[in-house]
Structure 1
């Protein structure tokens, strides 16, 4: 686990929603975990993670939360803010995890879309993730503002958006909408992806 608050330069560099984000190879994941008690919710934890050697950040979080031994009789809501959308394999792992924990809901707000072009597996992964019940969306100014005040060591400095933030957010949101509207159809070339249950079984 990293420290609870992220340095400003790390957040601004890694979460900037550029259309071409060269050099940004790490994925950062800010999270909030809440337990829902009737009409109210109780915050249990928040913080951020990043990729570690040989393991994507999404899987790191799944291992972390699975170790909590969640009460099956209670409902939990997890919110992620990620610098990249998940790759195909990670989307599969997340979808499998959600099916295993029906009392847990997940919302993912993404700064950028990872390899979501034609003939790539990633768009199909997002569709499967959405079908599994995850709510996925592109980060807007409001989400950046929330992250800045929740996860960043901002030293009481107000968040100031960068040029193109709104335009790029709208562009990516439209692209994500087009991806999710495509009928579920898994090309045979994706069939060699590793099984989520095999990937997570030993550590969960």
Structure 2
């Protein structure tokens, strides 16, 4: 009766309004953040509408911002969660700026190196990943350059598979294609990679 009505109202507020999306994303970001990585999400909307958007995500440490992510767009199917699957037709980020390497001040958690690894609680399927503008600054990569990446991803508690295509803006003919599969229970990693050289060598 009343509890169900309140639950529906809460779902509508937090899942389908900009105000609710901001509260939920702020809570998630706060939970994932620590001194070495503070996550800030700006202008999130459409959390459960199937059209999740965010204007910007910034990552900062004790020295300030070390990476910025702009124009996040995820077209996904909320009803698929009922079957234990996160399914997105499109995962696109307009621009990623990696300014420098993050500063680490916190010690590693005891036993982290010998842990059994992370197991996904649900299945994840992403049909199309688009990252057209990945800018790596000189303090991070030694010299500044810009990449573009496309691909797809499928993962569950047993492992995952991904196909990734990476190219450089300055040399668009040079392309790296990688087909990756990982099975942690079998301690097996399969990697098939092909590098296309630019025209003229």
Q: What range is the shorter-chain TM-score in?
A: under 0.3
TM-score normalised by the chain length of structure 2: 0.28
**Which structure has the higher relative contact order (CA within 8 Å, separation 6+)?**
1
Instruction: Decide which structure has greater strand share.
Output: 2
TM-score normalised by the chain length of structure 1: 0.27
